[in-house]
């Protein structure tokens, strides 16, 4: 059974799907692993490290031809797709909602495609959950980058020359990324507030030392899968009023609110930004889906009324080594769930919720 991976387009994706540590685990479980030359050199991982763990180096065409399972982050390009043979398995983070046409084209070649963002949020799937592992890093890095843009100190400092007040941070969206942002900002000495449409988030926010902004008469807007869903107009109005007042005293805002498969909810309006303090920073992690704030532009920093709005859509490319380590482990656990080790063959059991939900039909 051969597992392969080809290099991604490094202009857009610096993460990799197989690390030397994980390659060793595949080999010890009876797999053969093949990768391209210089697969991980951009992360400081030499070809020799892979060879030492039992990997073989092949050219791109051979990998696409030989691999029983191809592990990627993004969808392969048209040329790569043309080289894929029938009855192969393709696993990655393919954003099925936005790439249905391309994925359907690949599926028509009798290739089984598993898109990892469709993984159900059940206990057994936690070790495979790429959304959580990657969002955790994104929340951490968002705080680090936003504080780098902010032109003041973060913690309270008492000096002979006077006292510097602690920065006030608001985290919009208390999912995995938001909770990590709260924890990171708190560790760095900020006073942290948070808001989320899911009422269950209140306890989690407060356990990390954050102050949860409660909308009066709030409704619980959480799906069975643990994701946020669209709010009613009445709730949105109440949330806007609470946010508008809160933002007047906030120094740094971290936006993380996303609804899977939909445009990001616009939470911070132009008027709210107009009333914020000059020198404040909005760091918008939802930029790739339109952003949570007005004026957000992907991968650009915009200044409006003295407020800096940074739109970020490729934040994991800033932590590619850590992100790759976690992503590769998620994929390894997923592949083992597909593999019948005793009989050394793949077992796509459609009664398994993990397999059923992630297999693109």
227 catalytic? Reply is yes
Closest CA to 150 of 170, 173, 167: 167
Closest CA to 23 of 329, 342, 340: 329
Indicate which residue of 60, 107, 227, 352 is catalytic.
Answer: 227
132 catalytic? Reply is yes
Contact 286, 256 (CB under 8 A): yes
Indicate which residue of 132, 146, 280, 313 is catalytic.
Answer: 132
Cα–Cα distance, 342 to 258 (Å, whole number): 41
Measured in whole angstroms, the distance separating CA 162 from the mean position of its chain's CA atoms is 41
Indicate which residue of 47, 121, 127, 352 is catalytic.
Answer: 121
CA distances from 6 to 76, 230, 291, 333 (A): 9, 38, 31, 20
DSSP string of 117-177, one letter each residue:
GG----GGGGGG-HHHHHHHHHHHHHHHHHHHHS-S-SS-EEETTEEEPPPEEEEE--SHH
Indicate which residue of 39, 67, 112, 129 is catalytic.
Answer: 129
180 catalytic? Reply is no
Indicate which residue of 28, 46, 82, 126 is catalytic.
Answer: 126
Long-range contact list for 119-126, CB < 8 A, 24+ apart?
119/334, 119/354, 119/357, 119/358, 120/225, 120/353, 120/354, 120/357, 121/225, 121/226, 121/227, 122/353, 122/354, 124/354, 125/353, 125/354
Contact 181, 166 (CB under 8 A): no
Active site residues: 121, 126, 129, 132, 227
């Amino acid at each position: 059974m051969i597992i392969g991976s080809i290099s991604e387009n490094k202009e857009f994706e610096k993460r990799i799907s197989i690390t030397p540590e994980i390659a060793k685990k595949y080999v010890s479980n009876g797999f053969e692993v093949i990768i391209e030359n210089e697969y991980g050199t951009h992360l400081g991982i030499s070809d020799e490290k892979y060879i030492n763990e039992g990997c073989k180096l092949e050219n791109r065409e051979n990998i696409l031809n030989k691999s029983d399972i191809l592990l990627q982050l993004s969808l392969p390009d048209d040329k790569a797709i043309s080289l894929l043979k029938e009855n192969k398995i393709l696993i990655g983070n393919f954003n099925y909602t936005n790439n249905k046409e391309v994925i359907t084209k690949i599926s028509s070649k009798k290739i089984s495609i598993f898109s990892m963002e469709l993984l159900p949020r059940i206990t057994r799937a936690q070790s495979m959950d790429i959304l959580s592992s990657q969002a955790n890093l994104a929340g951490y890095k968002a705080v680090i980058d936003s504080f780098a843009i902010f032109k003041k100190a973060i913690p309270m400092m008492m000096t002979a020359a006077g006292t510097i007040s602690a920065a006030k941070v608001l985290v919009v969206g208390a999912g995995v990324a938001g909770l990590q942002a709260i924890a990171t900002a708190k560790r760095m000495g900020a006073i942290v507030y948070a808001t989320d449409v899911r009422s269950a988030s209140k306890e989690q926010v407060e356990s990390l030392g954050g102050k949860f902004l409660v909308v009066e008469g709030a409704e619980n807007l959480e799906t069975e899968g643990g994701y946020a869903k669209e709010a009613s107009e009445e709730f949105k109005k109440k949330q806007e009023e609470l946010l508008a007042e809160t933002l007047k005293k906030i120094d740094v805002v971290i936006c993380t609110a996303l609804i899977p498969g939909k445009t990001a909810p616009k939470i911070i309006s132009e008027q709210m930004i107009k009333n914020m303090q000059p020198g404040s920073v909005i760091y918008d992690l939802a930029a790739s889906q339109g952003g949570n704030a007005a004026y957000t532009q992907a991968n650009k920093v915009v200044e409006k009324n003295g407020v800096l709005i940074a739109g970020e859509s490729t934040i994991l490319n800033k932590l590619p080594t850590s992100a790759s380590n976690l992503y590769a482990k998620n994929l390894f656990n997923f592949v083992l769930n597909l593999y019948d080790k005793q009989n050394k063959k793949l077992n796509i059991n459609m009664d398994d919720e993990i397999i059923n939900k992630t297999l693109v039909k």
